Amino acid sequence: MEPHAMWTSYPSLKKDLQKTLNLISDSISLPNKEVEEAILAIFHSGGKLLRPAYLLLFAEFGTKIDKKKTIALSAAIETLHTATLIHDDIVDVADTRRGTATINSAFSTDVAVYSGDYLFIICFKLLIQYQSSLKSIELNTTSMEKVLLGELGQMSERYNMNVTIDDYLANITGKTAELFALSCFVGCYENGGGKKLSNKCREIGKDIGLAFQIVDDILDYSQNEETLGKPVLEDVRQGVYSLPLICSIAEHPLLFEPILSKKENMTQEDAKRIHELVIECHGVEKAYDLASHYTNRALATIQSLPNNQQQTKETIYEITKSILQRTF
């Protein structure tokens, strides 16, 4: 396993991310080697490692940096994130992720469920190595709860044409932003950063996560399946409405009602028509405006971080800006 090519410009960070991947790989050991290889393949499949990268970067603002512990925490965060992806794929009945077959499609739903559960165990085994990280264990369990509530909130809104922007933001705050917030907080806090500074890091992470998910949802309307690595607009057919569509429905509900009322009976042609209508109603631009808002707020808060780690600040700023521009 090697870190994504985007980290080549940051050699020190890339080195720590490689250590993170090595630790994950060393921690995964199953009697069923075929399933073990399938789990490891997910970590091989081109993930950006943004969450562990942020954890490693924000650790630099601590006053008592413990590199070995920080690597373990970053590995735990990425393992937790990957476990949620496996379970997402089960719920979505997804065949591919990042251009690679999902565990549920390559093996079975049962194997995928147990694989995701196994990674949760690995996450906590990594955390338990450090008794001083009990706060991290508490935060990880709280974050897992928030992720679950975000997913449940999204499920409860399926096929709901009255879903609001606030509903959407509440769901992605749990589903995506929480793990970014946790990464930034834990990196700083567990290295002696203090609660006040660590909470500021958490707010940065939350805004980054919100922007990241909005931009990710925008990509469904601007890229094809080959470039995105997953079926585009499949969420629409499953009744999950993201921000570009929600913004468009709010302005022109009568345009969308005849198609969306078909619910699970929507065809691929219906999905293509939804795509056309969202573009015509400027839903992408409206969603992008909100992504810009959260990105700019994160960038402004990053600028207010302590100046004793100026190079780290600049790196965090560059990476965060690239999330909105999707230049990585």
CA distance 322 to 11: 18
pLDDT score, position 328:
46
The pLDDT tens digits for 27-48 are 999 998 888 888 888 888 778 9
CA distance 308 to 126: 30
For every residue of 88-147, DSSP letters joined together read HHHHHT-SEETTEE-HHHHT-HHHHHHHHHHHHHHHHHHHHT-GGGHHHHHHHHHHHHHH
258 Cβ contact partners less than 8 Å away, ≥ 6 residues apart:
none
pLDDT score, position 154:
64
The pLDDT tens digits for 215-242 are 999 988 876 554 444 455 778 888 889 9
pLDDT score, position 147:
67
C-beta of residue 82 within 8 angstroms of C-beta of residue 122: no
pLDDT score, position 40:
87
278 Cβ contact partners less than 8 Å away, ≥ 6 residues apart:
221, 244, 245, 248, 284
pLDDT score, position 138:
62
Question: What type of residue sits at position 250?
Answer: A
Output the six-digit token pair for 308: 């004793």
Residue bearing the bigger pLDDT, 102 or 15: 15
The pLDDT tens digits for 38-79 are 888 888 877 899 999 999 999 999 999 999 999 999 999 999
pLDDT score, position 98:
67
- Range 142-170 average pLDDT: 77
pLDDT score, position 156:
66
Does the structure show a pLDDT above 70 at 310? yes
Mean pLDDT of the chain: 86
pLDDT score, position 171:
87
> What are the respective helix, strand and coil percentages of the chain, to the nearest 5?
75, 0, 20
The pLDDT tens digits for 158-198 are 888 899 999 999 989 988 898 999 999 999 999 999 999 99
Place 299 in a pLDDT band, splitting at 50, 70 and 90. Answer: very high
Place 134 in a pLDDT band, splitting at 50, 70 and 90. Answer: low
3-state secondary structure of 328: coil
pLDDT score, position 131:
52
pLDDT score, position 229:
44
Positive or negative: CA dihedral 29, 33, 37, 38: negative
pLDDT score, position 150:
59
pLDDT score, position 323:
77
CA distance 243 to 213: 10
User: To 5 degrees, how large is the angle CA 34–CA 107–CA 84?
Assistant: 95
276 Cβ contact partners less than 8 Å away, ≥ 6 residues apart:
none
CA distance 213 to 189: 25
Specify the range with the lowest mean pLDDT, choosing from 113-127, 146-160, 274-288.
Answer: 146-160
C-beta of residue 26 within 8 angstroms of C-beta of residue 68: no
Residue written as token pair 């390559």:
106
- Range 108-134 average pLDDT: 81
Q: With 0.95 as the threshold, say if the pTM is over it.
A: no
- Range 275-289 average pLDDT: 94
pLDDT score, position 46:
72
C-beta of residue 74 within 8 angstroms of C-beta of residue 3: no
CA distance 147 to 86: 13
User: To 5 degrees, how large is the angle CA 240–CA 220–CA 269?
Assistant: 75
Length of the chain: 328
